[in-house]
Structure 1
């Protein structure tokens, strides 16, 4: 574990054994993999100090050294309207938080007129605590999908988490209830996904689309209703990926009428159940489980 804390608008941390012998440049570029523009700005601002002195980025750091990165949190929240919401938080510290999104609201506004979103609610929550920073969602959930979403509290941390997501170091596992019985108890769907030119929001499997990989495992089957409950783990994060892939193999989600599901549930039966990753600053293992916030059709225990 790395000792870290927020000091006013600055980030202070004690260098752990794992980083002993690195240069500041290596920490920023190879460990945190910050964008070149961000590293350049930190250099120009002389924003990094070691043991209470400003040092060049070629400085070698040692276990026990005290690093201070200035003004990481000296950002204003984006121009989001404050919308007070009752949000269930699954994890929170000075640097990031994980919220349990209910179905029926957007992750973030797409226009200034949209104010009833999860991001608006989080901005309101942080402003009430007098926390500065830039709220940044690391991934998204569809409006009618519920569950765990990761947010950064600054663009600095957001940059690190974005790269971790790209490199599949943030593990997301969903539970879904679908029509039909699977032939295999587990499998992988690897099929590229692209836009449907005949529908403004629908996606489809297309040879010219982006690579998309979904792993699934059957955990329960309800023979009476011919429904299966599965766990899905994503290697990629394409729009509507799980919905498109499951429909493609003949198992659309309950309630997902856009992709062939029957309206036996008021929304698509998809919930982001588990989220796990190594905290980029403290190096602690973060694992959360998001409870259902509605009457999700859980088939656990049914055969």
Structure 2
């Protein structure tokens, strides 16, 4: 008897009577990802890449183990994240897998081994290349956590130092340092939490479940900003009273000039950033409004003590 042909499943269709989901019911083969290894020029660059490929071949298992750690190792807290990042990033950089390079890790590891009389094979399997791709994505986010946390810690410490060191130097000097700290810290906060790119990275960090203290550190930064605004107002009040209470007219005039200059410096620094203050924390917007109101009060108090410029007289020419 003739051999019967294999049974072919009926076509699977969409729920609303559309076309076949798979032709003749067969699921297509899993499509392999296309890798794009860098095309290097012959000469020094090609020689360097060949030497690097040999090193990757010798340390193949170590490289895969490092990539698996980055991609899958559980991280209990930010300290564990920092340790893993520090340990692995340096090693991977040595084998040509550094962050910020011109070539994705999976593309860099797409290395074909050519053998005489046989088809070329890949040094790293497709599964391992997928792990490299996942590891790079996670490592990039770990870098952001590490870098941003370090920057925030430095800024918080600098603000605390300014707040606790007392008034060293003139009020004008201290106010200048306060304004510089306010300007830099609020700009940094806005860049980190308001700009679309940073917000996208932050959302990916949270989606991946990476442990971090970025929000807690930012809260400390904004606490410092609030205290710096209060300190700035205290300095302005001190300038005003110091000017008014000065008995010597000449010294009082100089103090009034310095106060007016400080008022303008404060106004030009913080007024354009009011929206950033309000978005960061309602309390900061309220404190900033108090500061701006105080500027008008201090200006009204010291202006009468400014030196009066003598009017020109025709008698000066005779």
How does the TM-score come out when normalised to structure 1? 0.22
Q: Which has the larger radius of gyration?
A: 2
- From the two aligned structures, give the one with the greater strand fraction: 1
- From the two aligned structures, give the one with the greater helix fraction: 2
How does the TM-score come out when normalised to structure 2? 0.21
